[in-house]
Amino acid sequence: MKQKSNIVWHHASVTRDRRERLNDHHSAVIWFTGLSGSGKSTLSHAVEEKLFQMKCRTYVLDGDNIRHGLCADLGFSDNDRKENIRRIGETAKLFVDAGVVTLTAFISPFRSDRLVARQLFDVGDFIEVYCRCPLEICESRDVKGMYRRARAGEIQNFTGISSPYEEPVSPELIVDTGSLSLAQCVDEIIGFLRESGVIISLEGVR
C-alpha cells in the first residue's frame, strides 16, 4: 500500500525513549502464535498479570476481542487473515512506540504474515512465542466447540483442520503449552524478558 505524497510523518517531542524511561522498562511486542486451543490467550493474559504486578505498562491484543472492533469487517479467508495480521502488526507498533509491553494472541497461521509483522519492528522488539501444543490436545480443550464444528464441516477455513498452520522456523521462544503448567509457561516467558533486557529497570538512566 503506497502512501500519498502529501502525507508526512510527524515527529513528536515525546519519544519512545522518554516513555520507556518514565515507565522504567523497555517496550516490545510479545507475539504469541499457535493453534486454536494451544493456550495463547490464557498465557498472554497470565503473563500480563505477572508483568502488571511488576509495575510494567502492558496491554493484550486478543484475537477474538480485536475481531469485535478493529477487524470486525474481516472473515477467515487467507486474504482476510493476512489483513487481520497486518492491522495487528501496525497497532502493536504504535503500542510499542508508546512504551508499552504489548502481548498479541493470534493464531497468525502463515509464516509470511508473521514475517511482515516482524519487519515492522527494530531487532529485539519483536518476540515470537510459539505455543507448541499437539492438535489432539488442542481438540480435547475445545471449550468453544470450534473443532467439533470444523470436523463436521460447519466452519470453513479452520486452522489445523481445513486450513494450514505453518509452525515458526526460528521463534525467540518455544513454550510447550501441551505439557507444561500455566505457571511454568509464564515463568519461561518472564525469564526470557529478563534475559533479553525488556523488563530491566531503567531507573538509574533517566
Report pLDDT for 126: 98
* Contact of 104 with 48, CB cutoff 8 Å: no
Is the pLDDT reported for residue 4 higher than 80? no
Residue 196 annotated among the catalytic residues of the structure: no
Report pLDDT for 205: 42
- Which domains are present in the chain? 16-197 (3.40.50.300)
Is the pLDDT reported for residue 34 higher than 90? yes
- Catalytic one of 36, 38, 41, 108: 108
Query: What is the torsional sign of CA 82, 88, 91, 92?
Result: negative
The whole-angstrom separation of Cα 148 and Cα 140 is 10
The stretch 121-125 carries a mean pLDDT of 95
39-59 in b/e form (b: 16+ CB < 10 A) is bbbbbbebbbebbeeeebbbe
Exposed / middle / buried, residue 199 (Cβ in 10 Å: 0-12, 13-18, 19+)? buried
3-state secondary structure of 6: coil
C-alpha cell at 88: 495487528
Which tens digit of pLDDT belongs to each residue from 84-116?
889 999 999 999 999 999 999 999 999 999 999
Residue 203: which pLDDT band, with cuts at 50, 70 and 90?
low
Which tens digit of pLDDT belongs to each residue from 134-180?
999 999 998 789 999 999 999 988 999 999 999 999 999 999 999 99
Report pLDDT for 62: 83
